[in-house]
Amino acid sequence: MEKYRILGVDENASMEEVKRAYENKVREYRDNIKDEKRAMAFIKVFDKAYEEIKLEKEKNQYQQTRVIDRKEVEARQNSDSNEEESTRRRRRDGSSSRSVKSKNHNNKSKNNDKDREEKRSKSRKDQSKKKKESSSTSELIKLPLQIVILPIVALLSLVIFLCKIINLISWIASKVVMIAAIAVSAIHGYQIYIGHAPKYKIFIISGIAFVVALFLPIVLNTLLSILEGINNGLKKLV
């Protein structure tokens, strides 16, 4: 063919021989032809011939590999079919013996299942009886406790109501006491500034009154929250 003649190789030549011939041709024309444009025209012809030969070789190789793969697949399918036939024969031979064994096994499993179901039903009945007994005993124990706790809950509810009223009154009173303590201290300080003798008891009493008025609402709020928590717990128990 023309592309093989251009490179000067045989059609049965290997790809290495074709590549070697292509490189020799390119080197020869570059060295002998001084006109670069003319040399490049010849090299393009060589490039085209080399690429066509390369594609043809790759196509032939791909077709050969496909043929080989088909043969391998057919051989595998034949071997698989032979194995399937042998396994079918073995299954047919062993099916009779297995059917007898399966019948005996099924009878045994049925008997075992019946025994298990009977045991489970007995255990469920026993558990239900125990739950009923425990629930009845717990109710008997809770009943006197509820009777005792009920008046305590009522008493605590009354105490909490009174504490809320006292808390409100103490908040108002604490503000008044704090203002009064500040005013008394300021008045006595002014008297000392004018020239009167200092009375330190007034400052001490005013300071104590101010601190008590400041922390008393906090203490009462804490006590009220504790009582409410106890009362809620007792209500849930009742």
**Structure confidence by residue, pLDDT tens digits, 26-37:** 888 888 887 888
- Give the domain extent around 199: 139-237
Calculate the CA 122 to chain-centre distance.
42
pLDDT of residue 179: 93
Domain count, the chain: 2
- Reply yes or no on whether the pLDDT at 97 is more than 60: no
Name residues whose C-beta falls within 8 Å of residue 54's C-beta, 6 or more positions apart in sequence: 15, 18
The answer to whether residue 101 sits within a structural domain is no
Is residue 161 domain-shared with residue 85, that is, in the same domain?
Answer: no
- Reply yes or no on whether the pLDDT at 176 is more than 80: yes
- Reply yes or no on whether the pLDDT at 104 is more than 70: no
pLDDT of residue 93: 67
What's the pLDDT tens digit per position in 40-69?
A: 888 888 898 889 888 988 888 888 888 777
pLDDT of residue 205: 92
What's the pLDDT tens digit per position in 117-175?
A: 888 877 787 787 777 766 667 666 767 777 877 788 888 888 888 888 988 898 898 88
pLDDT of residue 12: 82
- Among 90, 125, 153, identify where a domain stops: 90
